[in-house]
C-alpha cells in the first residue's frame, strides 16, 4: 500500500523515532520533493516534509518501530469518506 511517513517520538524528544504510515490522498501528485502530503485522516494541509511516498506492506509484523495510522486504515478498509476530519473532531478552524 502506498504510504507517507510521519516521524514521531512517543517517548519524548530524546526517545527513539517511530514511523506512522499514513495513506496519501493523491499519491500521483508526489514528485519526490514535496513540502507536504495530504493524508486521508486529516483534512488540513497534511504532513510536512513527508519524505516521498513508499510502498509499505499492510502487515508490519517484525517492524516494531512502524505502524499504520488507524484512521487512514479505516478509510481504506471501510470505504469511508476521505474527508472525515477525524483528528480535528471538536476543534474549530
Choose between 39 and 56: whose C-beta lies nearer to Zn ion.
39
How many angstroms separate the CA atoms of 27 and 37, rounded?
8
**What one-character DSSP code corresponds to residue 88?**
G
Using alpha carbons only, what angle is made at residue 49 by residues 58 and 29, rounded to the nearest 5 degrees? 70
Contact positions toward Zn ion, by CB under 5 A? 22, 30, 34, 39, 41, 69, 72
**C-alpha cell of residue 18:** 517511530
Choose between 14 and 21: whose C-beta lies nearer to Zn ion.
21
Minimal distance, residue 14 CB to Zn ion, in Å: 25
Minimal distance, residue 43 CB to Zn ion, in Å: 11
Amino acid at each position: 500500500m502506498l504510504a507517507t511517513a510521519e516521524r514521531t517520538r512517543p517517548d519524548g524528544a530524546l526517545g527513539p523515532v517511530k514511523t506512522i504510515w499514513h495513506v496519501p490522498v493523491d499519491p500521483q501528485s508526489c514528485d519526490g520533493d514535496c513540502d507536504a502530503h495530504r493524508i486521508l485522516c486529516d483534512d488540513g494541509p497534511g504532513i510536512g516534509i513527508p519524505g516521498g511516498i513508499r510502498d509499505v506492506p499492510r502487515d508490519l509484523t517484525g517492524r516494531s518501530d512502524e505502524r499504520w495510522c488507524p484512521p487512514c486504515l479505516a478509510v481504506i478498509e471501510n470505504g469511508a469518506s476521505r474527508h472525515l476530519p477525524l483528528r480535528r473532531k471538536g476543534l474549530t478552524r
